[in-house]
Amino acid sequence: MVGVTGVVGSIEAHGVTLGYERHPAVHHLHGCFRSGSLTAVVGPNGGGKSTLLKGIMGLLRPLEGRFVFNGVNRGDISYLPQIAEIDVDFPISVLDTVLLGHWRRVGAFGTLGPGLRIAAARALSTVGLDGFAARPVGSLSGGQRQRVLFARVLVADCPIILLDEPFTSIDTRTTADLLDLVLRWHGEGRTVVAVLHDLDQVRRHFPEALLLARKAVGWGAAADVLTEDNLRRARSMGEAWDQAAPVCDVVEP
């Protein structure tokens, strides 16, 4: 993998509202994931964190506003969904799952040459899954499946990486190993955005944070965002939000 050290692009949100059936889940978001930044997206359950990542990926069209990609496009983004969204019953091997990370290079009808297969094998070794290539993904534990998904991100070699709850329901050792990979990606100059719940983990390892409770409560340096006042405000906003409220048509400055 060649790496992407240097400027890799940023993602801006310009008044973005995202929702389902015209009900907002993310409301009038303004801000920027800076090029090469490492940002944790935190907030109460139902606060729109996963929805935001889906909006960036184009899986959900904004009800209002737009995302702007500087120096990159959506094809330059690697997305790791929540592990609960993975169909473990689908009959696919560990190696074939990792090889899907080469999609942006070869497309639907391209040829997977020896070099790409070697890269996939190396990625499996990096995440501690030597000897697992032929096993069905459905036979793995939750932590092992998450390692497979991280190996797929490795071979994709994208300048921007979105991770949705990457450490949920996995053991401490796996969390530590995968967190090391996240920090390595950041050190290579990639832009990394991760939805997380462990605030102590965020404070220790993530320089920037977006505190999201449908609206942005704070976005910037983690130490400035994750204050007790902001966290209290986010909790109260999450509790007070009306699920049936219509989309607001007034764009905030």
Per-residue pLDDT of the chain (253 residues; tens, 9 = 90+): 434 444 468 999 999 999 988 788 999 999 999 999 999 999 999 999 999 999 999 999 999 999 999 999 999 999 999 976 677 778 899 999 999 998 776 655 556 778 889 999 999 999 999 999 999 999 999 999 999 999 999 999 999 999 999 999 899 999 999 999 999 999 999 999 999 999 999 999 999 999 999 999 999 999 999 999 999 999 998 766 555 555 555 444 4
Q: What is the pLDDT of residue 244?
A: 57
Is 85 contained in some domain?
A: no
Q: What is the pLDDT of residue 251?
A: 44
Is 233 contained in some domain?
A: yes
Strand partners, 19: 24
> In the chain, where does DSSP find H-type helix?
49-57, 94-99, 103-106, 114-126, 142-156, 172-187, 199-205, 222-225, 228-240
Is 241 contained in some domain?
A: yes
Is 38 contained in some domain?
A: yes
Q: What is the pTM of this model?
A: 0.89
Return the residue matching tokens 């505190």. 211
Q: What is the pLDDT of residue 6?
A: 46
Q: What is the pLDDT of residue 9?
A: 84
CA–CA dist 181, 149 (Å, integer): 12
Is 59 contained in some domain?
A: yes
What is the chain's alpha carbon radius of gyration, rounded to the nearest angstrom? Answer: 18
Which one-letter amino acid corresponds to residue 111?
Answer: T
Is 175 contained in some domain?
A: no
Is 102 contained in some domain?
A: no
The domain spanning residue 210 has which CATH number?
3.40.50.300
The count of structural domains within the chain is 1
Residue ranges making up the domain that contains 226: 8-72+190-245
Is 37 contained in some domain?
A: yes
